[in-house]
Every structure is written in C-alpha cells, then in structure tokens.
C-alpha cells in the first residue's frame, strides 16, 4: 500500500525569498530616512544663516545711518560678513549687504541679504 502524505508549511526557498524582499524594503526605508535627516539638517542651517544675516541688518539699521560700517562676526559654524556701499543706488543712500556662510560635509554654503538705508537728516 502506498501512503500519501501532505506536508504543510513553507519551503526553505520561500523563506529566503521572503527575507530578501524584507531586506530590500528595509534598505529603501533606511535610504529615505537618511535623505530626510540630511534635508532637515540643511534646512536648519539655512534658516539659522538667514536669521543671522537678518539680525545683522536690523542691528546696523538701529545703529543709524552715519554709524554703519562693514565687518565680520563668527559664531559656531557660521561666519557673517557685512559691507556698506555709500551713495548707492542714489546720493545719501547706502546699500548694506550681509552674507552668512557655513560649511557642512565639505560643501560651502552662503546666504546673502541686502537692504538700502537712507539719510533721513534727523
């Protein structure tokens, strides 16, 4: 007499294929997570640089028209430089440019903001 047996369960190949599919999916998730973290870091640095440049322009405006001069300031990874161009775009006006630069992963980045100040003659 010949007996038929049925086996239930997974074969070794099915298990290996399933593990391979799970590994590929996990690698994709890790890659995306890494890109998101890198993008968030750049966004944070960019926002900080804009804030530093804006604060410098506001500080220079508060110093008054006659007291505005160029300079440099460094804090942590950021360097802010500002320059003043007299009689630009017109007489009794100054163009003030503030640039904040930083480096991350060997790449240099810069944010530049400009404003125009006028001599109100007070």
Q: Is 94 within a domain?
A: yes
Q: Is 108 within a domain?
A: yes
What are the helix and strand counts (H, E) for the chain? 1, 4
Which residues make Cβ contacts (< 8 Å) with residue 87, sequence separation at least 6?
A: 93, 94
User: In whole angstroms, what is the distance from residue 53 CA to residue 36 CA?
Assistant: 26
As for how many domains the chain has, the answer is 1
- Position 1 pLDDT exceeds 60: no
pLDDT in tens, 15-34: 999 999 999 999 999 999 99
Residue among 71, 74, 83, 70 at smallest CA distance from 49: 74
Q: Is 22 within a domain?
A: yes
Q: Is 5 within a domain?
A: no
pTM of the model: 0.77
pLDDT in tens, 36-67: 999 999 999 999 999 999 999 999 999 989 99
| Mean pLDDT to the nearest integer, 67-87 | 94
Q: Is 111 within a domain?
A: yes
Q: Is 4 within a domain?
A: no
Output 105 or 57, whichever has higher pLDDT: 57
Note down the domain range covering 83.
12-118
Q: Is 7 within a domain?
A: no
Q: Is 3 within a domain?
A: no
């Amino acid at each position: 007499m010949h007996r038929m047996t049925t086996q239930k369960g997974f074969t070794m190949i099915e298990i290996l294929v399933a593990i391979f599919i799970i590994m590929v999916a996990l690698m994709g998730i890790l890659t995306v997570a890494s890109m998101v973290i890198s993008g968030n870091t750049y966004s944070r640095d960019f926002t900080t640089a804009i804030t530093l440049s804006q604060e410098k322009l506001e500080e220079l405006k508060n110093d008054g028209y006659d007291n505005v001069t160029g300079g440099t300031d460094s804090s942590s990874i950021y360097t802010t430089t500002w320059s003043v161009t007299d009689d630009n775009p017109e007489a009794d006006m100054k163009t003030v440019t503030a640039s904040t630069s930083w480096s991350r992963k060997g790449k240099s980045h810069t944010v530049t903001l400009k404003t125009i100040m006028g001599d109100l003659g007070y």
